[in-house]
Structure 1
């Protein structure tokens, strides 16, 4: 027998279900809105964090070109590469006279950029001077040579032979490191691998993590 009570009661269940679905829909919309706001906030924070770094790097590029200083600057990181033939004789860690002349032109301009603005000085935590070699020769010898060269450059910068207004400030940021042939092209003795790099470590980057990130795996030799 057909029950009229069941027929009358059915729409009420549909309305309850619709209310539940609407509530769930509203909740999902609210959550999506929250996630969207968080995403936008993170993007803005990342942009604000990276903006000073881009300005620092751009200023380094501009000043090197403007002062006709023959170096290669990475437009993304600000790494400044100086070919070792400018600074050293082959297999030597002693700065050549021409190398000293070059550093006397380069360092004052480079340091002036770092300390030209408080934001720049604050953003740059360290300046790491790295020595690099090609794959020619023994690994251990290359690593030692690269470290000795970076130390020679650092020692000269803070010697009595070189004076510039921001010398004492730069001293607090500089450290020397040897990378040997770790970044050399595999199995190839390429002179372009032999260089000294001035590399920024920016504020907020843990040094051990930063160094590990910039530490490539040793190349496998045949």
Structure 2
């Protein structure tokens, strides 16, 4: 009777001790996965930081040499062209001076991002933005057409040949954002002049 009781107790103990062990194992696995994700994010952040610095330096040198009206975010590498530089009001046709600017700027920009980090570049995204004047759908159409005009020129015949052009042709995307990403003044009001813009930004993937 005592032995039977012991066997019952032992079986119950084995059952109850299994779940804490299983839970500990799951916790360990999750911790390893989290550490791996953190490591990948850290590496990605490091690559982004180095790339942004490289692009920033290259763009600043280009601006200094030619006086091009372009701004670059030194922490993200985001390049911004104002509407007045690129288009007439309500137009998606690139100005002649905008084309000449892109002929100078794009080869420098592309070389800056591909020469050392080409394997990590997954996309080059061209985004068109508008202000909040007019309907959302009208602005969406205009912003998309403007983004496409810039992207089309970057990989078209008119700009001529430059290093990595074939790669850019495969990686480039054009997106219209309408008024979804308005730029605000410090007082919270909308800065409509700054909101009307075209941006170029690379995207990184460490899996490539």
What's the TM-score bracket when you normalise by the shorter of the two chains? 0.7 to 0.9
CA RMSD of aligned residues (A): 2.6
> Which one of 157, 161, 166 corresponds to residue 158 of structure 2?
161
SS of the residue corresponding to residue 92 of structure 1 reads: coil
Q: Is 2:115 the counterpart of 1:116?
A: yes
Q: Which one has a bigger Cα radius of gyration?
A: 1
Q: CA deviation at 1:76?
A: 2.7
Any idea what SS the aligned residue of 1:175 has?
Answer: strand
Check if 1:135 corresponds to 2:137.
no
Q: Structure 1: 5+ residue runs without aligned partners?
A: 1-33, 206-222
Tell me the TM-score normalized by structure 2: 0.73
Contact 1:53-1:123 within 8 A present in 2 as well: no
- 1:148–1:45 CA distance, 2 compared to 1 (3 A): closer
- Taking a change above 3 Å as real, the CA distance of residues 201 and 161 of structure 1, as seen in their structure-2 partners, is same
Please tell me whether residue 57 in structure 1 is matched to residue 52 in structure 2.
yes
Call closer, same or farther: CA 1:179–1:204 in 2, change over 3 Å.
Answer: farther
Secondary structure in 2 aligned to 1:91? Answer: coil
Shift of 1:88: 0.4
Shift in Å, 1:158: 1.8
Unaligned runs of 5+ in 2: 1-27
Q: Deviations over 1:13-55 (max 9, x none)?
A: xxxxxxxxxxxxxxxxxxxxx89x9687765544333222211
Please give the alpha-carbon distance, in whole angstroms, between the structure 2 residues aligned to 1:44 and 1:181.
36
Q: Judge which range, 94-103 or 162-171, deviates more.
A: 162-171
Q: Judging changes above 3 Å, is the alpha-carbon distance between structure 1 residues 45 and 145 closer, same or farther for their aligned structure 2 residues?
A: closer
Summarize deviations over 1:147-176 as a string: whole Å, max 9, x none: 000111111112211121221111111010
Pair 1:159–1:48, CA change in 2 (3 A)? closer
Task: Say which is worse superposed, 181-190 or 89-98, in terms of deviation.
Answer: 181-190
Give the match for residue 98 of structure 1: 97
Write the distance in 1 (CA, Å) between the matches of 2:100 and 2:37: 46
C-alpha displacement of 1:89: 0.4
Give CA-to-partner distance per residue, 1:170-199, whole Å, 9 cap, x none.
111101000011111477361110000002
Alpha-carbon separation, structure 1, partners of 2:147 and 2:43: 33
Q: TM-score, normalised by structure 1?
A: 0.69
**More RCO (CA 8 Å, sep 6+):** 2
Q: Deviations over 1:88-128 (max 9, x none)?
A: 001000011011011111111111112212xx112110011
